[in-house]
Amino acid sequence: MLSLRKRLLPWLALAPIALAASTGAWAETVARYGISMADIPLTTGQPDRGAGAYQFTGHTLYDPLIAWESNIGDRPGKLIAGLATEWKPDAKDPKKWLFTLRQGVKFHDGSAFDADAVIWNLEKVLNEKAPQFDAKQSAQVRPRIPSIASYRKVNATTVEITTKEPDALFPYQLPWFLIGSPAQWEKMGKDWNKVASQPSGTGPFKLDKLVPRERAELVRNADYWDKARVAKTDRIVLLPIPDAVTRGNALLNGQVDIIETPAPDMVPQLQAGGFKIVKNVTPHVWPYHFSTYPGSPWTDIRVRKAANLAVDRSAIVQLLNGLGQPAKGQVDATSPWFGKPSFDIKYDLKTAKALMAEAGYSPQKPLKAKVIIAQGGTGQMLSLPMNEFVQQSLAEVGIQVEFEVVELENLYLHWRSGAKGDINASKGITAINLGYVTADPFYGITRFVNSKYVAPNGVNWGGYADKEVDAKIEQLSTTFDVPTQNKLLADIHQKMVDDALMLWVVHDVNPHAISPKVKEFIQAQHWFQDLTTIRM
């Protein structure tokens, strides 16, 4: 008879294997994500800190009625069904939109999503008298949904939203409007600050932990209604690391697995260390927005075109270590809204000099212009050297640019005031350098060229007014067919480029650096990224 020890020995030998197998089966997958913000964006429903924040505490915790397809990277996304399965304008009154709501969806707290929840959320950001009104959330989303005039519940699964005027592009506004749980707000004593640490949406992640300015931990929502978008990683830890070099160091050191916007100078080091740089076409452009008011040096189209031809954009991309893409217009050339402009934006010094000579200027007899720029924060990490590069390039063709350098927050004041505003006109400022998000037709194109939006009514900064463009925008507002919409937008964009409305320099590529531990990450051609695609 074998001794007890001998009988147990084979089983004991198997124990480490069994333990390893069980550990493998139960081990939680964690992705640590170094984000470029100084704090975790608002978690209550409408994130602050710009478009880039929606991927972290917006579309992770919450869903919109209409979503943006963000889990594909090889083509631009499109509007897709979110918490609304169908939306259409009323055949009799194009200002009225009917939304059929998805059934059977529950918030993270277990309460049901229905028409009442949608109305409650609209009241939260649009009705100052509603008890749940939150000024902070309202400030974030109100400018994103400017068309909404009124709303009402039709039945438990249908909501009607009326726009101020017919607006066929209205659905593009809705991915910004996220739906949170009314029941959770009640449970948290109607206190938005308490909701911030225990939010409840319908999104693919739930918030497990929030340490302000230090971390937010999102855990997979296994019961997510869209089974195709159930998160591939159990837990995502968001760590605010505002300094780009520190983010890169944290990645090299193994403290994080993925970072956004690595410092351009660190790209070779990261690549040499086996880290992957992921980038894609991104709806963002870094231009000089010209004033076309009388008296501005940019009123002459030859000067505007010469400026666009004077800049060697590939050299700027080289300066950025490849983290940029030469711009040929407001949107990327692959966008369905790009059109077929006759003015080909490229580096052509000879033509640029000829155009300037025709306009009566040369490096010896330069045209003088004042451009307002920020010392940083305009969407490009090397904005100052890039501005100096542009300044030298323009000097070569006879445009002598003087910079008015201000802090970013101050630059926004100058932007909102428009070129004609005293704040700019009194200083002779005739162009402004800012980064523009071009994710949707309104934000990317029409607001810059619609004469109704001449500043201070909007951000048509330079006072551009063109009857043909205005007519197309008018036509666009009542065109509900997407291919026709795209054609109209392409026509408008084409006109913008042919008129050289801005000096377009580079498009951002929204770079990320990822550790070899990250097996999959799909970078969408958008600011909205889908964190459910991260697989460790």
In this chain, which of 55, 60, 70, 140 binds other proteins, going by CB under 8 A? Answer: 140
- What the block records as the tokens of 72 is 């594909």
Minimal distance in Å, beta carbon 49 to other proteins?
Answer: 9
Instruction: Tell me which residues in 445-464 interact with other proteins (CB under 8 A).
Output: 456, 458-459
Whole-number Å distance between alpha carbons of 500 and 399: 16
In 441-454, which positions are buried (b, 16+ CB within 10 angstroms) versus exposed (e)? bbbbbbbbbbbebb
Q: Does 412 bind other proteins (CB under 8 A)?
A: yes
When computed from its CA atoms, the radius of gyration of the chain, rounded to whole angstroms, is 26
**In this structure, are residues 330 and 284 in contact, taking their beta carbons and an 8 Å threshold?**
no
* Cα 506 to the center of its chain, rounded Å: 16
At a CB cut-off of 8 Å and minimum separation 6, what does 223 contact?
Answer: 106
Q: Does 50 bind other proteins (CB under 8 A)?
A: yes
In this chain, which of 100, 255, 280, 475 binds other proteins, going by CB under 8 A? Answer: 255
Q: Does 250 bind other proteins (CB under 8 A)?
A: yes
**In this structure, are residues 461 and 501 in contact, taking their beta carbons and an 8 Å threshold?**
no
By CB under 8 A, which span of 244-252, 334-342, 345-353, 362-370 interacts with other proteins? Answer: 244-252
Query: Phi and psi (nearest 5°) for 477?
Result: -65, -20
Q: Does 20 bind other proteins (CB under 8 A)?
A: no
Binding mask 269-308 for other proteins (x = CB under 8 A): ----------------------------------------
Minimal distance in Å, beta carbon 446 to other proteins?
Answer: 13
Binding mask 197-216 for other proteins (x = CB under 8 A): --------------xxxxx-
In this chain, which of 73, 82, 204, 240 binds other proteins, going by CB under 8 A? Answer: 240
Q: Nearer to other proteins by C-beta: 136 or 232?
A: 136
Residues binding other proteins: what is the number (CB under 8 A)?
Answer: 47
Q: Nearer to other proteins by C-beta: 191 or 481?
A: 191
Q: Does 268 bind other proteins (CB under 8 A)?
A: no
In this chain, which of 14, 15, 19, 139 binds other proteins, going by CB under 8 A? Answer: 139
Q: Does 364 bind other proteins (CB under 8 A)?
A: no
Burial class of 136 by CB neighbour count within 10 A (0 to 12, 13 to 18, 19+): middle
Burial class of 197 by CB neighbour count within 10 A (0 to 12, 13 to 18, 19+): middle
Write the Ramachandran bin of 147: left for phi over 0, alpha for psi from -120 to 50, otherwise beta. alpha
Q: Does 243 bind other proteins (CB under 8 A)?
A: yes
In this chain, which of 38, 222, 315, 482 binds other proteins, going by CB under 8 A? Answer: 38
Nearest CA to 514 among 281, 270, 265, 321? 270
Whole-number Å distance between alpha carbons of 134 and 128: 8
Q: Does 177 bind other proteins (CB under 8 A)?
A: no
- What the block records as the tokens of 344 is 């080909």
In this chain, which of 158, 246, 280, 299 binds other proteins, going by CB under 8 A? Answer: 246
In this chain, which of 3, 6, 23, 128 binds other proteins, going by CB under 8 A? Answer: 128
Write the Ramachandran bin of 128: left for phi over 0, alpha for psi from -120 to 50, otherwise beta. alpha
Minimal distance in Å, beta carbon 209 to other proteins?
Answer: 8
Q: Does 146 bind other proteins (CB under 8 A)?
A: yes
Tell the residue number behind the tokens 């089966």, with chain if given.
25
**In this structure, are residues 311 and 452 in contact, taking their beta carbons and an 8 Å threshold?**
no
**In this structure, are residues 160 and 97 in contact, taking their beta carbons and an 8 Å threshold?**
yes
Q: Which residues bind other proteins (CB under 8 A)?
A: 38-39, 42, 48, 50, 128, 135-136, 138-140, 142-144, 146, 192-193, 196, 211-215, 239-243, 245-246, 249-250, 252-255, 406-407, 409-410, 412-413, 415-416, 456, 458-459
